[in-house]
Amino acid sequence: MIIEEAFGQSKKFTLENKNGVEVTVLNYGGIIQSILTPDQNGLLADITLGFDQFEDYLKGHPYFGAIIGRYGNRIEGGRFELDGKIYKLATNSNGNHLHGGEQGFDKKFWHSEVENEKLILTYRSPHMEEGYPGNLDVKVSYELNDENALILTYEAATDQATPISLTNHAYFNLAGSGDVLEHRLMINASYITPVNRYIIPLGHLQEVADTPFDFRSMKAIGQDIDSPDEQLEFGGGYDHNFVLDQPGIQYLAAKVLEPQSGRVLEVHTDEPGIQLYTGNWLEGHYNGKFQQNYGKRTGFCLETQHFPDSPNQSNFPSVIIKPGELFRSQTIYKFGVRSVDQ
């Protein structure tokens, strides 16, 4: 069931399933405004960061729950070359391009419709918006099934070659409040793409073995987050792209367990990478839902994606879509509670 309501200048859509799980999405920015899931005792809590009032989303925020595009993550220097031409993008992060620029997809009002128990959002990004070539038609659908899986499907088509990497920037806290350092995390990745001090990939892969980035077996997010490691110093904690060993919806990309509530989050994706961000720069600047002050590391992100700066990195998987091609990507966030052996 999907319920539509007004929410300030936006529309709010609440997706509900038979188990009492609820996901609320705005047509402004495609923002996932809330996710209500039960703990091991059946008690519901909102497990994603955001705001109670629409106006707070207009004041500026770190992409809480939003669709990110045209290009998720960073592009060095806000420039790339395509078919012999240099394109210059907005530089909104230390001289680099971040998350689609000054007015990315997170700040757009999307056309909305409900079809077959799916919320479908569409947007046309015009030629040269934020510096990107081509008119890009984007469709993002949200579906919540009775297996407690939130299925995000991204599609796009263009009339001119252009880079694209779409994701969602939900911040999760499976406890509903407090920091996330005791959450236990597994990421099915043997490598990361190491970065410089501006979080731009260096162009090669780095093994996670014997480093703080080894999440191949579950461990607390906070276990190694303050270790003396140059990569952690650059990010202020984890803010890195993990190279998935087995991309594909049928494989488990990441899994998180919150020990006190017993809540579990599983992530499946056909994207080659996943960005772990541990809310290192929240620093209490945002007063969120239920009068919570979002301080440092009170949320984590698992942003499914192509690798950052791929338009400038020929050895990374291509992010170029051409006329006549259909970009399609899918990510599943599945919510549950711990099993006996966890």
Residue numbers annotated as active site: 169, 303
SS3 58: helix
Look at residues 153, 89, 152 and name the one whose alpha carbon lies nearest to residue 125: 89
Whether a cis peptide bond, with omega within 30° of 0, leads into 263 is no
Cβ partners under 8 Å of residue 236, min gap 6: 280, 281
* H helix runs in the chain, sequence order: 54-58, 230-235
According to DSSP, the residues that pair with 242 across neighbouring strands are 192, 274
* H helix runs in 202-242, sequence order: 230-235
Q: Are 327 and 154 in contact (CB under 8 A)?
A: yes
Residue 83 one-letter amino acid? D
HSE, CB side, 13 Å, CA atoms: give it for residue 233.
Answer: 5
The token pair at 203 is 């162009």
Burial of 273 (C-beta count, 10 Å sphere; 0-12/13-18/19+): buried
SS3 11: strand
